[in-house]
Copies of this chain bind each other. A is one copy, B any other.
Amino acid sequence: MRPRRFAVCLLLAVSGSAAAQPPRSPRARDLGVPFAFGAPGRENAITDVAGVLVGHTTLVEGDSVRTGVTAILPRGRGDAARTPCFGAVFSLNGNGEMTGTHWVRESGIVEGPIVLTNTNAVGVVRDAIIDYAARRWPPEGDGWTVWSLPIVAETWDGTLNDIYGRHVKAEHLGAAIDTAASGPVAEGGVGGGTGMICYEYKGGIGTASRVLAEASGGHTVGVLVQANHGLRHQLRIAGLPVGLELRDGLRRKEEAGSIIIVIGTDAPLLPHQLERLCRRAALGLARTGSVAGNGSGDIFIAFSTANAAIGETERTVSLNMLPNERMGALFEATVGATEEAIVNALVAGRTTIGFRGHTVVGLPLERVRDILKRHRLLEPTR
């Protein structure tokens, strides 16, 4: 069984990567959903931040395996990936796990990939990152390798996935890293998002970006979410309380989902400035209606790919910093891209049957369009 599962996983991993990208399904913006705060980048994805790669390992097998791993590599996969980034975290509601954050907070540094998976797989994936690095960059003497305090975050997929079956293995982390690519990012039920549920619809991975006007610095902000949060009645799209109308397929449980939000930028921000971006992700989340329920692990992480010299450990390092006074446009970009990434995750969700026959329906796109149209908020589609 195990070889077969792995084969499936690799296949899906490849199909989730840029190389074999099928004709892309329409995304929220394609459907006429309006979004605020400027224009997206080429892919409207976190990969619009130069150098950032995203890879998914998607595990769909039999009746009950619906899970996976998503890896975001801030500085790609080669030796450049040994260079840390400035980074920061913020926990809006800490009913969840993101490992490695004590050191992010202390050092202001994100080292290695940021990996998303299911709740019960955090440990195996976390250790697998260390082993992956140790194979690629063996530790010297009795020292350690890079990536020794790995960053792994989770949301709970136990409704659609046999989460106690422990189907995520170390090799799935490797596959996600090794197939990570720039360009378009598969969304919805892929990678770590495979079994996720958002506002009681099928959720999962979503992404979006904003490119600032040159006058505002021309920087790019990209956001990627693993969206597994929210109750239906809270859902807002384009500001409209669509969740009050869309009452199909309710699961009517206490919220126990979560959302992990990853923010990348090429703006030269220091750690304390990146923490400011993290807090803005909360504002983007709020625009989709969430109140960050008690059961929700809403933990956000930001990194900047600028300042590539910070890997230096011996000598004083030269850095660039964007003044705080110039951050307003980045705040808007973060809020806008976060809101859009979440709606993209919903739009990409497809009705899914999983563990014990549990079914989660996908967002009914036509009905959403109808509601927006009725309220004169639907934008003309291209």
Task: Please tell me which one of the listed residues B93, B102, B103, B119 contacts residue A101 in the complex, with CB atoms under 8 A apart.
Answer: B102
* Closest residue of B by beta carbon distance from A243: B36
Contacts of A96 in B (CB 8 A): 102-103, 149
Task: Please tell me which one of the listed residues B125, B142, B318 contacts residue A319 in the complex, with CB atoms under 8 A apart.
Answer: B318
Q: How far is the CB of A123 from chain B (nearest CB, A)?
A: 3
B285 and A283 within 8 A (CB): yes
B127 and A335 within 8 A (CB): no
Q: Is the interface of A mostly helix, strand, loop or mixed?
A: mixed
Q: Which of A321-340 contact B (CB under 8 A)?
A: 321-328, 331-332, 334-335
Q: A8 contacts the other chain (Cβ, under 8 Å)? A: no
Interface band, chain A: 35 or more
Q: A25 contacts the other chain (Cβ, under 8 Å)? A: no
What is the bound-complex CA distance between A179 and B377, given in angstroms?
47
What is the bound-complex CA distance between A276 and B296, given in angstroms?
12
Task: Please tell me which one of the listed residues B149, B292, B320, B375 contacts residue A97 in the complex, with CB atoms under 8 A apart.
Answer: B149
What is the bound-complex CA distance between A62 and B207, given in angstroms?
50
Q: A42 contacts the other chain (Cβ, under 8 Å)? A: no
Show 5 residue pairs from A and B whose CB-CB distance is below 8 angstroms, ordered by the A residue: A91-B102, A93-B279, A96-B102, A283-B290, A291-B334
Given contacts A122-B126, A317-B320, 14 further A-B contacts (CB under 8 A): A91-B102, A91-B106, A94-B106, A98-B102, A101-B102, A105-B272, A108-B272, A131-B166, A270-B271, A291-B335, A293-B328, A313-B324, A313-B325, A318-B320
A interface list, Cβ under 8 A from B: 34, 36-37, 91-109, 119-128, 130-131, 134, 139, 142-144, 148-149, 156, 158-159, 163-164, 166, 217, 234, 236, 238-241, 254-255, 268, 270-273, 276, 279-280, 282-287, 290-295, 297, 299, 310, 312-328, 331-332, 334-335, 355-356, 358, 374-377
